Amino acid sequence: MTPVSINTGRLRSPFYPRLAELDSLNTWHNWAGYSSAEALYCEDMEYFAIRNSTGVFDITPMTKYRITGPDALDYLNRLVTRDMRKIKPGRVAYAIWCDDQGQVIDDGTIFHLREGEYRLCSQERHLAWLTTAAIGFDVTVKEETAEIAALAVQGPTSYSVLKNMGIDGLDSLKPFGLIHHQIFGTELMVSRTGFTGDLGYELWIDPDKAIDLWDALFAAGKLHGIQAIGTHALDLARKEAGYLAPFEDFLPAETTVRTGRTRSPLEIGMEWLVDFNKDNFNGRRALLKEKAEGSTWRLVKLDIEGNKTADHSYIYADDKKNSDEIGFITSAAWSPVCKQNIALGTVRTPHGKPGDNVWVEVYYQREMHWNRVMAKATVVDKPFWFPARRGMTPPAPF
């Protein structure tokens, strides 16, 4: 056997040359084996690009799996909790998948690219699970993370930017829809998806054309305030949208050791994604049992009084007789666009129903000294940030 040389270092996305040019902070971290920028020049300004103009985020490291074969639909339908038969070609589904015990492994998006041809994207790698789940199905699961370069283009002016680039069909592209567009002698896939809760798109292309795409995009967006952004800006935006992050708001079941640390979809507010009318999906038996017997945990979105960010705080019941700790915060931030002190947390049932009041114990430091406040918080059921433009078709030009 001839020895094969493998790059064991950190991978660079095909957009890296452009990102490196814009980068003045040099704060990179590891995302699924790739270098990913936390921020490029100022995380606050990058965040405001998402909300006020257009932010461009390199999502190449997002793991991508191509799922094809005669049983592709049946395979996906057993894998995820929602009914994939309803997702027609040209549509995208947000989905979650569980282990046999009905505990969430991860969430992600499934693109129905063409009839019977799917792409599953998620933050974490799952080839082992996806391969195991393929036993007994005539299906091919192929890891194609490195074969596709992708950018998230998010913000109120994103529609105008892409239109400027000459992409057709955007006027009728609804949220969670996708179109194919010919450019640079190759195919560009455009989906109206994202992780910011705003108007936005994701672009998918052959890595060889990544730089061409970047240059065309930034040229088209020059007068629309286009900015490259890092993960910190995106993370704040996703909290405002009420989106969950694995390893923060839930733990992927396959990598969790301690019992009771995982969550079921019912415990993270994803009941709407669980279709018990399907004949079967992985975890169905366990989840039916949980539904009948009641869940242990509930995910809550909290609107907290004051302006002290409630990172890692304990949550207490608002009850004179019972002031026990009922849970904790998993993600928290001051939302600049909502002017709200927001957080996602996990509490024991029956606590945390929408409209309930709870108390959050916030610690914060001022010049070395620690202070503590008990802040009142309200459980809300809608995302903190949900602008009308996010759902408008066609979106308004800016």
Partner 1 sequence: MINKYDAIVIGAGHNGLVCSALLAKAGKNVLVLEANDQVGGAAITREFADGYSVSACAHLLYKIQSQVEKDLNLNINLASDNLSTIVLSEVGEHVTYCGNKVTGVNESDQKNFAEFFKRMTRFSDLLNTYLNKPPPRLGTKNKKDLFTLAMLGFDLRRMGKVEMREFLRLIGMNIYDELDERFESPLLKGGLSLDSVLGTHLGPRSPNTILTYLFRMAGKHGTLSTPKGGMGSVTKAMSDSAKAAGVEIITNAKVKKVIIEKGTATGVELNDGTIYNSEIVVSNADPKKTMLELVGARNVETRFTHRIDNIRMKGNAAKLHIALNKLPTIKGFSESDYSQRILIAPDENYVERAFNSAKYGESSPLPVLEITFPSIKDSSLAPSGCHVMSAVVQYAPYQQKSDWNEEARTNFKNDIFSVLKQHMPDIENCCLSSEILTPLDLEKEFHITGGHWHHGELTLDQFMFVRPVAGSAQYQMPIDGLYLCGAGSHPGGGISGASGRNAAQVILKREKR
Minimum Å distance from CB 134 to partner 1?
9
- Binding to partner 1 by CB under 8 A, coded x per residue (else -) over 235-274, reads ----------------------------------------
Q: What is the spatial distance between Cα 283 and Cα 290, in angstroms, rounded to a whole number?
A: 10
Q: How far is the CB of 361 from partner 1 (least distance, A)?
A: 37
Minimum Å gap between C-beta 139 and partner 1 is: 10
Alpha carbons 287 and 100: distance in angstroms, whole number: 10
Give residue 282's identity as a one-letter amino acid code. N
Nearer to partner 1, 79 or 170 (CB): 79
Site string for partner 1, 131-160 (x = CB under 8 A): -xx-xxx-----------------------
C-alpha–C-alpha distance, residues 94 and 301, integer Å: 19
Q: How far is the CB of 266 from partner 1 (least distance, A)?
A: 17
Task: State the nearest-atom distance from the C-beta of 226 to partner 1, in Å.
Answer: 43
Supply the minimum distance, in Å, between the C-beta of residue 212 and partner 1. 41
Contact with partner 1 (CB under 8 A): which of 24, 260, 272, 279? Answer: 279
**Strands 27-31 and 186-191: what pairing?**
unpaired
Rounded Cα gap, residues 63 and 291, in angstroms = 31
Can you tell me which of 129, 195, 204, 243 binds partner 1, judged by CB under 8 A? 129
Q: How far is the CB of 125 from partner 1 (least distance, A)?
A: 17
Provide, rounded to whole angstroms, the least separation between the CB of residue 381 and partner 1.
30
Q: Residue 13: helix, strand or coil by DSSP?
A: coil
Which stretch in 73-81, 206-214, 301-309, 389-397 sits in contact with partner 1 by CB under 8 A? 73-81
Torsion, CA 15, CA 177, CA 253, CA 303, rounded to 10: 90
Question: Does residue 229 contact residue 57 with C-beta atoms inside 8 Å?
Answer: yes
Dist. CA 75–CA 69, nearest whole Å: 9
By CB under 8 A, tell whether 282 contacts partner 1. yes
CB of 145 to partner 1, least distance (A): 22
DSSP assignment of 46-60, as one string? HHHHHHHSEEEEE-T
CB 201 within 8 A of CB 179: no
Element (H, E) at 162: helix 158-164
Looking at 30, 172, 255, 280, which residue binds partner 1 (CB under 8 A)?
Answer: 280
Query: Which range in 8-16, 59-67, 72-80, 217-225 contacts partner 1 by CB under 8 A?
Result: 72-80
Q: Contact with partner 1 (CB under 8 A): which of 51, 209, 284, 351?
A: 284
Beta strands in the chain (DSSP E): 27-31, 34-39, 54-58, 63-68, 92-98, 104-114, 117-122, 140-143, 149-154, 178-183, 186-191, 200-205, 226-228, 297-304, 314-317, 325-335, 340-348, 357-366, 369-380
388 counts as binding partner 1 under rule CB under 8 A: no
What x/- string results for residues 308 through 347 when contact with partner 1 is judged by CB under 8 A? ----------------------------------------
Pick the closer one to partner 1 by CB: 35 or 103. Answer: 103
Alpha-carbon separation of residue 227 from 86, 202, 219, 337, 344 (angstroms): 36, 15, 11, 18, 28
Tell which residue, 154, 166, 167, 52, has the closest CA to residue 398.
52
Quote the least distance from Cβ 80 to partner 1, whole Å: 12
> Which of 47, 50, 59, 186 lies closest to 111 in space, CA to CA?
59
Of 115-123, 130-138, 168-176, 319-327, the window that binds partner 1 (rule: CB under 8 A) is 130-138
Picking from 199, 191, 186, 207, the residue whose alpha carbon sits closest to that of residue 89 is 191
Pairing of strands 226-228, 54-58: parallel
Residue 99 as a binder of partner 1 (CB under 8 A): the answer is yes
Find the part of the chain contacting partner 1 (CB under 8 A) among 173-181, 202-210, 280-288, 352-360.
280-288
Identify residues 75-94 at the interface with partner 1 (CB under 8 A): 75, 77-79
Binding site for partner 1 (CB under 8 A): 74-75, 77-79, 99-100, 129, 132-133, 135-137, 279-280, 282-285, 288
